[in-house]
Structure 1
Amino acid sequence: MASDLTDTAPVIIGIGEIRNKSKDTKNSLEPADLIAKAFTQALQDTGASSLEHVRKSIDSVDVVATWTWSYDDLPSVLSQKVGVSPSHKFYSEHSGCWPCRLLDRISQRIVKGETKVALLAGGEALASRALYGAKGQLQPPGWTPVSDPTKGPGDTSMKGEWVAHARKHGLGAPIHTYPLFENALRHRREQTKADNERESAQLYAEFAQIAATRPASWSYGEKPLTETEIQTVGKKNRMICYPYPLVQNAFNTIDLAGVVLVCSRAQARALGVPESKWVHVWGAGGTQDNSNYLLRPNYFESPSIRATLDATLQASGVSKDQIEAFDIYSCFPVVPKLAAQHLGIPVTREAGRTKPLSLIGGLTSFGGAGNNYSMHALCEMTRQIRQGSFKLGCVLANGGFPTYHHGAVLAPTPRPDAASRPFVSAVLPELYPSPAPALVFTPSGRSSIETYTIEYDRSSRPKRALIIGRTPAGERFVANEDGKEVLEWIVNVDEPIGKTGVVRNAGGQNLWRPDGLGAKV
């Protein structure tokens, strides 16, 4: 007779979150210290009969990479600060998918008996770093010394000729790439610009209301922005890249940290953690799209988001209809829109959506906690499941352009088949197979716009057009506008996508001009 594996099922037993919003550098804390404070909260949150016993049982420390400070070995620094001696230490790469990806890996180790109690953590102190930067202090006093304090985050997968080619045309940052997806999705859904702008403002107004009620949120207790304020472009809400004004972009200048403690049901019982604190991890899954965002099949969907949601739900043995609440990583409105499109649910409550797409409010209102945003989503999902707000919740973490995705399903009880499958992981191929058009660097002749965005200056004046185009043969290219009058045309035309014209290469830069404006003189 097969043994019952239910007690090997992974459970979250403790959560902790810290916000430090002081504007005085005397009160600043480096990421490791913020995480240590969040750990103290998480330890107390377990309600265990002996908190010291829990601490001494921690044998795994997994840390999400921080943007703030280039630690030489953050897991070791953190372990020393919180007084644990783990046999397993891991520091992630840079991507917002890592909170869920690490929870997946931890859960697998717990089921196999390789980990007793895991400390999963991450934190940022970008607000404090900015305060010190304003004073000209590259090395904040008292912070852990590092080999290279100037080193910042970067996507190490972005290499090759295409990167330099894209940057030559002004493409390269998330503020440029996510609008390409938003505009393509708008066109695919046959939305007008006005309808699309209204939808994004409605979605982010809902998120702002949520964030204002979450104590760990950067905007906690503040008056949430309204739909009108979010949609209206002005001095405090300048246009960045169309269609996203400032308050529809992730806000990263925050000091936040989050910690999740995970172990098996058997270990939780041995530690004296009340069952009311247990939240089960039923399943997880993930994959990624091509890191070369110029080699995506299209810009109105994300194969990786689709595949990750499907894999996560399938691994957890549930359907999308059974999930009562989602938290979709939302650095820009298009990510929850792409997820909602695949899930077959309305984007906004105004359109009839009844399930949450966010429990904490997105990276604009809650705060774009670097790679660690979804750690806070895991904390809030755990909190609300404990309170009985719902029985099944799904967190989807996103990173890249959008490139990397990982999801997890949480519940108050073991999965129905836990006796034989206490946890299931569905990690798909590292690169999700998605046929894409060929990329050409020096196109010439007839062409059309596949998608686009318009970059604006700090006075909300159009600066340049960033165009993704197609040749009649279906090849893809990057271009800018061929003259100021073309920029003005792209800004004012009802729908640039699908419009035909001519592309030429001048000095290594591709320039596009629509039919009807005449040749460039």
Structure 2
Amino acid sequence: MTEAPDNTPVVIGVGQYSERVGEPGYEALSYMDLGGRALAEAISDCAAEGSVAQAIDTLAAIRAFEMSRPDRAPPFGGSNNVPRSFAKRVGADPERAILSTTGGQYNQKLVGEFAQDIAEGRSECAAIVGSEAISTVLALSAKGEKPDWLEEVEGSLEDRGYGLEGMLEPALFAHGATGAIPLYAIAENARRANLGKGLEEYRRDIGELFEPFTKVAAANPHAAAPKERSAEELATITERNRIVAEPYPRMTVARDQVNQAAAIIIASTAKARELGVPEEKWVHIHAVTSAVELELSARPDLSANPASIASVERALGIAGKSMDEMAYLDFYSCFAIPVFNQCDHFGLSPDDPRGLTLTGGLPFFGGAGNNYSAHAICEAVERVRADLGSFALVGANGGWMSKYATGIYSTQTADWSQQRVAELPKADDAVVRGAAPFDSATIESYTINHTKKGRDAVFIGRNDAGERVVGNADLSHELTRKIFEGGEPFGARLSVKRDDRGRNIGQVA
């Protein structure tokens, strides 16, 4: 490690905290308590002589899932000022308290923002904290218990809003693609169509991708589902591993029932020295890039996510490194396709000896809401500290491959006299989407989404004018049902009518 200028930003502490329902020591902690524990762990990890808590001038809270849409609220209540609730638990009183927008990319993006603030003298020590207690909420609700998690904390708050722009597509929502699972499934099936693979073969591909992830999760004390599973087990449809949306079996989608929290502390080298943080704790931030994707139905290739590729490539370019020089990798893995996209582009294999996850991945470690990648960053920091001079890359994803942020970390000194944070421009090649009623459509991709209310076959295709359109396949029509259930509706032409709810309902002509 070479001498770094006083305004060089470094990660000085990371912390994770978790609990599993019913296990020894389980306390049924609230969101705020979990986050406070993680922040305390991060402060302890600094091994400082001075008070890190009192040095924190900026603290950002990652918006919990149950606070991520204006029509939802935590069932047991929450804090009026989440970042200050976290701060209060460790004796911190930051000048700035920030509540993030929605999106799994945002914690990674904040690392870049706060590093830039430190490099340019606007901050000396900043923390990022996020937590999820969804598993506890469900467990207590099932027993009819309703603890009071309301908190009132005084102090300023910079609420950055929900940040849902570009993620809520009314046409898809109106036809039953109302959340991440069916929307990712549509993109996944588009990739399957491009590869010319059937459902069973493709599910096997997903199983082979994720089998190594389960091994990492099984060894991670913070994992929500720490159990090794074979590719065959992940790919085989059973009552327990039922289809949630074609082509996804339940075990291969992000697990949101977790109680997990993570925290990251960044400081200038001057502040780190003042606090007495040992240099062996310092981890340099070599690049942070972010990018925004087109809305799903506007993407030229429904299976592709060029914004994520551009983010990773730009980060590698800023760091002056290649993918081969990354010793440690964590690609956001809420579903298979965000990982497949990176593998396809960079020529990576599911059995890459480095592994493609540091935590165990969202289906097995747990999909800690918008905060998953903070856990990946914590793991990356630990890895490079133990392997001096090595580099780690973390790719963080938000929405339905809607936003992406990449970070590169190492104990090697990063030169912050050059620009190390970049926001990439949004693509301008959106496909024209049809707004008027249409009589026919040719299928590009689809999913059959399974819910408690039944099944919806949702398709994206083109009308006769070549515009993108959305609709439902009529599964009561025998030929249509057979083609969709068989997994090969790609290129099929549907005749389309509107029902009394305004939905486009298609049958194979």
Task: Verify: 1:174 aligned to 2:180, yes or no.
Answer: yes
Task: State the secondary structure of the residue aligned to 1:200.
Answer: helix
Identify the residue that residue 63 of structure 2 maps to in structure 1: 65
| C-alpha contact (below 8 Å) 1:282/1:408 kept by paired residues | yes
User: Which one of the candidate residues 312, 318, 322 is aligned to 2:315?
Assistant: 312
| C-alpha contact (below 8 Å) 2:431/2:468 kept by paired residues | no
Identify the residue that residue 260 of structure 1 maps to in structure 2: 264
Task: Verify: 1:504 aligned to 2:501, yes or no.
Answer: no
Task: State the secondary structure of the residue aligned to 2:307.
Answer: helix
Identify the residue that residue 199 of structure 2 maps to in structure 1: 193
Q: Distance in 2 between matches of 1:410 and 1:6?
A: 18
User: Which one of the candidate residues 249, 274, 296 is aligned to 1:293?
Assistant: 296
Q: Distance in 2 between matches of 1:134 and 1:419?
A: 51
Identify the residue that residue 338 of structure 1 maps to in structure 2: 341
Task: Verify: 1:474 aligned to 2:466, yes or no.
Answer: yes
Identify the residue that residue 507 of structure 2 maps to in structure 1: 513
What percent identity do the matched residue pairs reach? 29
Identify the residue that residue 53 of structure 1 maps to in structure 2: 51
Q: Distance in 2 between matches of 1:485 and 1:157?
A: 38
Q: Distance in 2 between matches of 1:252 and 1:142?
A: 20
Structure 1 segments unaligned to the other structure (5+ residues): 147-152, 516-521
Task: Verify: 1:324 aligned to 2:327, yes or no.
Answer: yes
Q: Which amino acid aligns with 1:512?
A: G
Q: Distance in 1 between matches of 2:65 and 2:447?
A: 27
| C-alpha contact (below 8 Å) 2:167/2:400 kept by paired residues | no
Identify the residue that residue 425 of structure 1 maps to in structure 2: 421
The correspondence of residues 482-497 of structure 1 with structure 2, limited to 5 A, is: 482=474, 483-493=476-486, 495-497=488-490
Q: Which amino acid aligns with 1:60?
A: T
Task: Verify: 1:216 aligned to 2:198, yes or no.
Answer: no
- With normalisation by structure 2, the TM-score equals 0.89
Identify the residue that residue 150 of structure 1 maps to in structure 2: none
Q: How much has 1:367 moved relative to structure 2? A: 0.7
Q: How much has 1:121 moved relative to structure 2? A: 0.9
Q: Distance in 2 between matches of 1:412 and 1:26?
A: 35
> Which of 370-379 and 480-489 deviates more?
480-489
Q: Which amino acid aligns with 2:207?
A: A
1:454-478 Cα offsets, whole Å, 9 max, x none, are 123569xx82311111124321111
C-alpha RMSD over aligned residues: 2.5
Identify the residue that residue 238 of structure 1 maps to in structure 2: 242
Q: Distance in 2 between matches of 1:142 and 1:168?
A: 34
Identify the residue that residue 398 of structure 1 maps to in structure 2: 397
Q: Distance in 2 between matches of 1:22 and 1:239?
A: 25
Q: Across the two proteins, how many residue pairs are aligned to each other? A: 487
Identify the residue that residue 39 of structure 2 maps to in structure 1: 39
User: Which one of the candidate residues 159, 164, 179 is aligned to 1:156?
Assistant: 164
Identify the residue that residue 148 of structure 2 maps to in structure 1: 141
User: Which one of the candidate residues 447, 453, 465 is aligned to 1:453?
Assistant: 447
Task: State the secondary structure of the residue aligned to 1:300.
Answer: coil
| C-alpha contact (below 8 Å) 2:81/2:152 kept by paired residues | no
Q: How much has 1:322 moved relative to structure 2? A: 2.2
| C-alpha contact (below 8 Å) 2:286/2:407 kept by paired residues | yes
Q: Distance in 2 between matches of 1:72 and 1:315?
A: 39
| C-alpha contact (below 8 Å) 1:30/1:143 kept by paired residues | no
| C-alpha contact (below 8 Å) 1:6/1:420 kept by paired residues | no
Task: Verify: 1:108 aligned to 2:85, yes or no.
Answer: no
User: Which one of the candidate residues 457, 467, 472 is aligned to 1:465?
Assistant: 457
Q: Distance in 1 between matches of 2:497 and 2:313?
A: 42
| C-alpha contact (below 8 Å) 2:101/2:162 kept by paired residues | no
1:66-92 Cα offsets, whole Å, 9 max, x none, are 124453211122222211121122110
Q: Distance in 1 between matches of 2:239 and 2:152?
A: 39
1:378–1:443: structure 2 CA closer, same or farther, 3 Å change rule? same
Task: State the secondary structure of the residue aligned to 1:479.
Answer: strand
Q: Distance in 2 between matches of 1:122 and 1:328?
A: 19
Task: State the secondary structure of the residue aligned to 1:307.
Answer: helix
Structure 2 segments unaligned to the other structure (5+ residues): 67-73, 154-160
Q: Which amino acid aligns with 2:362?
A: L
- With normalisation by structure 1, the TM-score equals 0.87
